[in-house]
Amino acid sequence: MTFSSIPFLFYFLPLFIGFYFLVPWKNAALLAGSLLFYAWGEPVFIFLLMISLGFNHAIGTIIARNRSKPALIVGIVLNLAALGWFKYAGFLAGALSEGFSAIGIPLSLEIENHLPLGISFYTFQAISFLIDLYRRDADRPRGLVDTALYISMFPQLIAGPIVRYKSVADQLVSRTHSVEKFSSGARQFILGLAQKVLLANTFAVAADNAFDAAALQGLTPAAAWVGLFAYTFQIFFDFAGYSNMAIGMGRMFGFELPKNFNFPYTAQSITEFWRRWHMTLSQWFRDYLYIPLGGNRVSALRTYFNLWVVFLLCGLWHGAAITFVLWGAYHGAFLVIERAGLKKYLDRGPRAIRHFYLIMIAALSWVPFRAESLDDTLTYYAALIGVGAENNAMTTDNLAPDGLGLVFVIGAIVALWPLVEKIGEFTGRQINIQGAPAMLRAITPVSTQIILAFLFIASAASIAGGGYNPFIYFRF
């Protein structure tokens, strides 16, 4: 059950909202709803989640009482061991087999594990819980219910944002509920739903057709570029849409969850991009890995090494495949290059050149992220420059349904809104709006409600009509 599904929108969510506000035990009610939500999609691995909740609460209690470093180490190691087994065992077995075969030693290791839904997200939250207790950044939870709710709260369980324990510890104890807060959350949820269903899903058709055709070496260069930018927008609107839905639902239940995206494609460098893209993941790696490694308080070479290793692991966190490792190494390399001096030269150049640089570097990085294999990655890069295609079966004319051009225009306006504001200022027509929610607030309240109702109905109609609705987080 995903947020953009009829069962969730018309059965689970409204029934749960009624239940939540009727009972006095808010945390227990939200925990029960979260476990039910997870069990709906993972009827077997709900037990793994429950074991993780009990284990981390027990270890966290020991850490909170004694500030036990051995308990912290055991907790982190066992959390990572569970993640490693279910997510990376098959990948490592395959890599070992290929490595031994390459030197003439026949070896066949096969491990097939089902990847539990959301395990990457709730594992990182569990580790945050243990580290924040050890550092005394937050008070110990009142009991198992609070611990379990923090780790498994359904709005952000399967797709983030990754919420650090210290940022919500007080809210687990005391938070406010109001009509205004609920309405604000509902508005953000609808905007996120529209981003996912009306924009991301439309771009997904073109992106999937392009990458499938590239694997068969049947993609024209023009279609390859259109497909690449379709995926560039798809991954943003899908991820930002889920984040907005999660943050909106959190606010409906009284929580203020951290912002996860801040117009990343308006950045002017890869360094700035990572301050705007999946912000909670960037901050997690910064606080719990980069800084403990020494951060930028060490020599220049060690700082470069720290950056590169962090993003190599960031890539591996996204998926157990060499393509994700390549994606992480790619971003890490550009971060190092910018820190070594490129960013100084970028900052001196025209703003348009800096934006173009960021868009091209970011877009090209999505090829290995989306491709199914290293061979498919190389084939797609070749298609972009018109090399290696055996036929031209897939062109821009049959890449996607009619109307993709209009969706590109709408998507670009929404994703690049701060740049639209800058253009308005440059032309003398200043637009005093900051972001999509503000765009709606600037309109009359009645019009806002009409627009939101239209977006919800259009999104629901698309889902009910069997529109393409992929769930891309199964690999995470």
Q: Which residues of 373-402 are buried (b: 16+ CB within 10 A; e: fewer)?
A: eeebbebbbbbbeeeebeeeebebeebbee
Burial status of residue 212 (CB atoms within 10 A of its CB: 0-12, 13-18, 19 or more):
middle
Instruction: Enter the tokens of residue 1.
Output: 């059950």
The answer to whether 399 and 202 have CB atoms below 8 angstroms apart is: no
Helix %, strand %, coil % for the chain, to 5? Answer: 75, 0, 25
| Number of CB atoms found within 10 A of residue 343's CB | 19
Q: How far apart are CA 313 and CA 296, in angstroms?
A: 18
At 219 the three-state DSSP class reads: strand
| Number of CB atoms found within 10 A of residue 49's CB | 23
Q: Which residues contact 188 (CB under 8 A, 6 or more apart)?
A: 244, 245, 247, 248, 251, 437
The answer to whether 201 and 174 have CB atoms below 8 angstroms apart is: no
Q: CA–CA distance from 163 to each of 47, 125, 236, 282 (Å)?
A: 22, 6, 19, 12
Q: How far apart are CA 201 and CA 238, in angstroms?
A: 8
57 is catalytic: no
Q: Which of 57, 278, 318, 331 is catalytic?
A: 318
Q: Which residues contact 371 (CB under 8 A, 6 or more apart)?
A: 211, 214, 215, 323, 377, 380
Name 207's bridge partners.
none
Catalytic residues, by residue number, are 318
